[in-house]
Amino acid sequence: MSRAVRLRSLVCGLASLLALIGGAASADILLVSPAIDQNDRIAAILTGASPSPRLDRVRLKGRPNRPDRWRRSIGERAPVDLTRFRLVVLENAASSGLADVEVVGGGDLLAALPGWVESGGHLLVMGGEPSFETYPGTEFASTLPVVLVPDPGTKRYHEAKRRPVEGHASDGTEVRRIHPVAKVRGDVLIRAGGEPFVVWGRTGRGEVTLVLSGVQEHHVPDAGPRESDFFASPQWERLLLERAGRALGRPLAPGSHVDPAELSPPMLRVGHAFRPDDWFGEGHEGTMVLQSPSGQAVLTVEIPTTTLPVLPETLRPGGYEALLSRAGRTRRRAVHIGTPVDLEGFDIRFFLFGHRPGPLGLAPGEAYEWAVELANIGFTSTVYASYVRRPQSNLRTMREILLGGLDLVYYQSFRDKSRYPNRWPSGVQVPQVAKDLSGEAIGWDIHSPAFRDEIDHLLDEHAEIAALPGIRALQLIEENKDGARRSPSLRKVMSDHGLSGKEKPGDAGWLAHEDLRSKATEQTYQRFRALSQRVFPGVPQSSYWPGSYWGRPWNYTHRVSAFAAAVDEFLGPGYGYNRGKAPDGWLSVTRTTNEIFNAHDFDVSGAKGLAVYAQGTPITPTGGRELGIDTWRETAWTALAGGATGLAYFDLPHGEAIRPLGKLHSELHRLGPLLASTSRRPASIAVLASWSTRTGGSRKETSRHHSCIVQTHDVLVYAVEQVDFVREEQLGSLPASLGAIVLTATPLLPRRAVEQLHAFVRGGGHLFVDAGSGTRQPEGSGRRDPWHTVRATGRVHDIAAPERCSVVGRFEVSRKLLARRWRERLAQIGIEPTSATPDPWTEARLMGDGDLRYWVFLNHYAEPRTLAAHARVAGATWLWRDMRTGQRVRPVAKLGGMAAAVPVGPTDAAVWAGTRRPTATLQIEPRVEWHRIVIEVTALDSEGRLAPDSTPVQLAIRGADGEPRLAAPLRSRGTRGGRASWRVPIPAGDPGGDWSIRVEAPLAGLTEVLSVQVASPAKSHDSPVARVDRTRITTVR
């Protein structure tokens, strides 16, 4: 059996093993452990045993340096029934985490375990950090067969040295760390270095076994051998199974295991150069042959090489084997070949994987397990945060993630305080420090040549990462805190422009000073972008939207445009960032989509992306409305209706809590690409977000400005549903659809901004202003009435005192009252939403234009509602279909537009699509190549014209074995110029034969079915492939 075939068998075996872990209704063993870092392999050993015991998991989360703050994973809140278990294993479990686990009958696990053991239970306690040092002083400690030595900060445990394991079964193994004990009250089964290592004792009718050591990821040298090799040995496996068998009353024999090394083979993208030394090590010579799964040589390289070999673009993706031969000896290495990411698929992203918090990290195989679990419920990518001190661990983990079925967003950056002040990353010149306005040093000078030069070294030694398949995006750019600081480089910039560099808030030159700082920050951001495009050409640059930007002007001075110009996609905060306490958390989703839409200059239809985080866990364990499937679903549909092109999750619980996401993600993969391909139109009303007031005002003024633009935005969303933000620098090029701008708590406005607002009013726009807005110039002089020259137009409206943001408050009744007043006032001047419902907690968002539209109905109530929607566009006679149910629907024609009464479930959505010109014909042009099938679909209406943009087309492909060959996230497309296209890779090892192709136009209810013939892998790589069998095209209506 080849290594590639063996690898696939092992992967399948691990998937079955994962199902066994999570799926049992009853269990023999309860394993309580951290969510990551099972380097001691307890779960793998137990589930791989013969016969395999039934295992339940409780996962704990926390930081080792905060042992008092460990908690149970938020997704595993079901009480533990200890009567179901014969053995409880505590693996690296802090007492605070045990106290957070509720048990059936009341109380917590920490308090319940002593009685459970007394009644006959078996307990195995494993060490690590934190664990034993947290038990002294608890009743649980009296159950243990030792008296523990207090070890605050685990200082004694950290005293690593070689401790040979003693006894006949040691086989020369060792452990490096031991938890100290003052007295042994039981039997010492094994010693290590003369110290008690494994201790056993009785408590009532039960038994307790202690393993006074452990192994954790950051205690292991990067890519080096295990620190304590005992835990990687057969002796540890036998000991664990003997203890488990004793508890269960039946012997357990070691079984087969997946070698984690098999889950991280070298990986390479087609068309990319590579170093054979990365596969076989430095200094080897001979002939290297890359062999396909069918045993054919697809590439031959003589080592050493004078130039780096390049993988052919036409290789089929999958598992290969590299053979290095010399003098009759052959070395073998499994190699995984992949393709670039298809960026047209709808991305559902997890934030994030990483080797944190130290000394915990992802043990070998854990990233693969978690990636498989996430991929199985519809996730498509994850952010991986690299750890600069562990490059080989980074590479191993990313390979596991890719093999597990997720794409990667590679996260590698540094900020103004990264490794400050003692450890500058490389050997180049160390930048000077920046100081705050009081003269205290606060971080690196991010505008200095030395800091920017270091950016150029950020991706040094990244050749293997740059060659990986599945790199979806990079996250190099962070929202560096550039405000309220002075530095040598900035002083020079200021001096070059005639400023002293010592200006302070309130000084006449302060805004000019800060504008120069913003431009300097933009240069730093562009340096990150230039680096990413050099090392990862064509890969989008991602970053997270700083939701606190407008509220923290002392941290972030730069303009939004300085940040946005360097980034291709923003991921912003959604439901849950206000700690789950506000009943209308969906407004935070809407606010984020509107802020990012504005940051991308009112266009997310092209290369710019917009996604919203569905908060996976609350920021605090307490809160109001529970965060779970209801809020995740509401976040998803609200974000899509706001123009999102993807979805993300900031942290996630483990266990049952996330399984309902599978159904939601299945729908998002089907409909998300369609809504994402539909243009979001700018709104007819916007709230001005002023950089000048934010930057140049007093602390009270800047705080009030942020509060007021948020409150005003939210009230307007209640009133007219579709609202935008607009920034000062955009006033000269406003969207044509914008009819009104609201100024609230904006005292400081530059002369140019006032003049541009005058021009907006003279051109027919309306201005709503509160008292005091625009009354000060940047240099400090006042304006009596900045709008007097355009008041005669009748389009300048003063916001009445009772309607100003200072009286809005946080109460629902006041928001609804103000929303009604705004709706009435805007209607009087002819500004009405294109589509809306009369209830502030329901929405009807109309997306797209021309001859095809999507109508998204959102219900933000926790109970079902029938939404009364009205749209001011003609379309009642179009073909309409509910895209979630597939049923035909018919809006009712009304004067000036159309209306619909739509039942929608709690915190859910209905999605209708309508077209004036339904697809009548699908022209399919498949082209079969050796390594892929290229499928071009043209949609035509009944008159032979190209279908409208964003017309939905869906593709399904099955191989000769009937299995899908195209992943769910890639099946839906919205047309562009009447066409949609796919490039479907043919997997290495595919047996070939007839593949079926099914193309649907779901809105029109039209389906075309045909077949193509794929060459078997036994044929030569350059042999001709079979033609498309057009005699088998079938039309289904």
Residues 151 and 167 in one domain: yes
pLDDT for the residue numbered 765 = 98
pLDDT band at 24 (very low <50, low <70, confident <90, very high): very low
Question: Which of these three, 776, 810, 828, is where a domain ends?
Answer: 828
Q: Are 912 and 855 in contact (CB under 8 A)?
A: yes
> And the tokens for 361?
């990290």
Rounded (5°) CA angle 449-450-453: 85
Q: 487 CB contacts (<8 Å, ≥6 apart)? A: 432, 433, 434, 435, 445, 447, 448
pLDDT(905) > 60: yes
Residues 855 and 990 in one domain: no
If one counts every other C-beta atom within 10 angstroms of the C-beta of residue 419, the result is: 12
pLDDT(11) > 50: no
Q: Which residue has the higher pLDDT, 243 or 800?
A: 243
pLDDT for the residue numbered 815 = 80
Q: Which residue has the tokens 């794929």?
A: 1014
pLDDT(813) > 90: no
Running DSSP on this structure, what letter comes out for residue 793? G
Using a pLDDT cut of 90, give the percent of the chain over it. 68
Cα gap 646→568, rounded to integer Å: 13
Per-residue pLDDT tens for 133-163? 999 999 999 999 999 998 887 889 988 999 9
If one counts every other C-beta atom within 10 angstroms of the C-beta of residue 152, the result is: 10
User: How far is residue 741 from each of residues 316, 685, 761, 809, measured CA to CA in Å?
Assistant: 55, 6, 10, 22
pTM of full prediction above 0.85: yes
Q: How high is the mean pLDDT of the chain?
A: 89
Residues 701 and 754 in one domain: yes
Running DSSP on this structure, what letter comes out for residue 722? -
pLDDT(7) > 70: no
User: Residue type at 414?
Assistant: F
Q: Which residue has the higher pLDDT, 434 or 881?
A: 881
**Pairing relation of β-strands 979-985 and 1029-1036?**
unpaired
Q: Which domain holds residue 301?
A: 267-338
pLDDT for the residue numbered 619 = 41
Q: Which residue has the tokens 């300097």?
A: 520
DSSP-derived 3-state class of residue 665: helix
If one counts every other C-beta atom within 10 angstroms of the C-beta of residue 809, the result is: 12
What CATH code is carried by the domain that includes residue 547?
Answer: 3.20.20
pLDDT for the residue numbered 920 = 97
pLDDT for the residue numbered 585 = 80
Q: Are 995 and 960 in contact (CB under 8 A)?
A: yes
Residues 714 and 579 in one domain: no
pLDDT band at 627 (very low <50, low <70, confident <90, very high): low
Which residues lie across from 30 on neighbouring strands? 56, 88
Q: Which residue has the tokens 């990636």?
A: 371
Question: Which of these three, 338, 359, 375, is where a domain ends?
Answer: 338
Please give the average per-residue pLDDT across 70-92, as a whole number: 91
Please give the average per-residue pLDDT across 918-929, as a whole number: 96
Cα gap 433→486, rounded to integer Å: 9
Residues 468 and 609 in one domain: yes
pLDDT for the residue numbered 1021 = 53
Q: Are 20 and 28 in contact (CB under 8 A)?
A: no
Q: Are 650 and 351 in contact (CB under 8 A)?
A: yes
> And the tokens for 703?
């705080």
Q: Are 990 and 1014 in contact (CB under 8 A)?
A: yes
- Kindly report whether the peptide bond that precedes residue 352 is cis, defined as omega within 30 degrees of 0: yes
pLDDT(605) > 60: yes
Using a pLDDT cut of 70, give the percent of the chain over it. 92
pLDDT(552) > 90: no
DSSP-derived 3-state class of residue 867: strand
- Burial-class residue 920 by CB neighbours within 10 Å (0-12, 13-18, 19+): middle
| Alpha-carbon Rg for the chain in angstroms | 32
pLDDT for the residue numbered 991 = 93
Within its chain, how far is the Cα of 7 from the centroid?
A: 28
pLDDT band at 812 (very low <50, low <70, confident <90, very high): low
> And the tokens for 877?
């006679």
Residues 292 and 363 in one domain: no
**Pairing relation of β-strands 146-148 and 181-184?**
antiparallel
For residue 4, tell me if it sits in a domain. Answer: no
For residue 735, tell me if it sits in a domain. Answer: yes
For residue 3, tell me if it sits in a domain. Answer: no
Q: 87 CB contacts (<8 Å, ≥6 apart)? A: 28, 29, 30, 121, 122, 123, 124, 243, 244, 247, 248
Rounded (5°) CA angle 312-968-659: 125
For residue 161, tell me if it sits in a domain. Answer: yes
Cα gap 819→808, rounded to integer Å: 10
Please give the average per-residue pLDDT across 187-195, as a whole number: 95
pLDDT band at 493 (very low <50, low <70, confident <90, very high): very high
Q: Which residue has the higher pLDDT, 200 or 156?
A: 200
Angle between helices 661-676 and 629-641 (to 10 degrees): 0
Report the Cα–Cα distance between both ends of the chain, in Å, rounded.
47
Residues 488 and 472 in one domain: no
For residue 170, tell me if it sits in a domain. Answer: yes
Length of the chain: 1037
Residues 214 and 106 in one domain: yes
pLDDT(429) > 90: no
Angle between helices 3-23 and 366-376 (to 10 degrees): 70
Residues 204 and 114 in one domain: yes
For residue 982, tell me if it sits in a domain. Answer: yes
pLDDT for the residue numbered 90 = 98
Q: 12 CB contacts (<8 Å, ≥6 apart)? A: none
> And the tokens for 695?
């930057």
Question: Which of these three, 338, 368, 400, is where a domain ends?
Answer: 338
For residue 1024, tell me if it sits in a domain. Answer: no
Per-residue pLDDT tens for 829-875? 999 999 999 999 999 999 998 899 999 999 999 999 999 999 999 99
Range from 16-25, 699-708, 759-768 carrying the lowest mean pLDDT? 16-25
Cα gap 713→597, rounded to integer Å: 14
If one counts every other C-beta atom within 10 angstroms of the C-beta of residue 189, the result is: 17
> And the tokens for 732?
């000269």
Q: Which residue has the tokens 């006449």?
A: 508
For residue 1033, tell me if it sits in a domain. Answer: no
Cα gap 486→482, rounded to integer Å: 9
> And the tokens for 845?
């968002």
pLDDT(803) > 80: no
Per-residue pLDDT tens for 434-444? 888 788 998 88
Cα gap 454→431, rounded to integer Å: 9
Angle between helices 366-376 and 391-403 (to 10 degrees): 30
Q: Are 319 and 989 in contact (CB under 8 A)?
A: yes
Per-residue pLDDT tens for 309-339? 999 999 999 999 999 998 889 999 999 999 9
Q: 660 CB contacts (<8 Å, ≥6 apart)? A: 629
What CATH code is carried by the domain that includes residue 318?
Answer: 2.60.40
Rounded (5°) CA angle 543-544-545: 120
**Pairing relation of β-strands 471-475 and 407-411?**
parallel
Which residues lie across from 191 on neighbouring strands? 196
Cα gap 301→311, rounded to integer Å: 11
Helix %, strand %, coil % of the chain (to 5): 25, 30, 45
Q: Are 226 and 176 in contact (CB under 8 A)?
A: no
Q: Which residue has the higher pLDDT, 1029 or 221?
A: 221
pLDDT band at 397 (very low <50, low <70, confident <90, very high): very high
pLDDT(694) > 50: yes
User: Residue type at 829?
Assistant: I
> And the tokens for 889?
């629907």
Please give the average per-residue pLDDT across 366-375, as a whole number: 95
Per-residue pLDDT tens for 788-799? 999 999 999 999
Please state the three-class secondary structure of 228-277 as a single string: CHHHHCHHHHHHHHHHHHHHHCCCCECCCCCCHHHHCCCEEECCCECCCH
State the number of CA atoms in the 13 A half-sphere of 88 facing the CB: 26
Q: Which residue has the higher pLDDT, 471 or 575?
A: 471
Residues 991 and 1006 in one domain: yes
Name the H helices within 74-207: 95-99, 109-118
Residues 546 and 613 in one domain: yes
Cα gap 437→434, rounded to integer Å: 10
pLDDT(806) > 80: no
Residues 573 and 658 in one domain: yes
Cα gap 17→252, rounded to integer Å: 17
pLDDT for the residue numbered 10 = 37
pLDDT for the residue numbered 411 = 95
What CATH code is carried by the domain that includes residue 139?
Answer: 3.40.50
pLDDT(1036) > 70: no
pLDDT band at 121 (very low <50, low <70, confident <90, very high): very high
Number of domains in the chain: 7
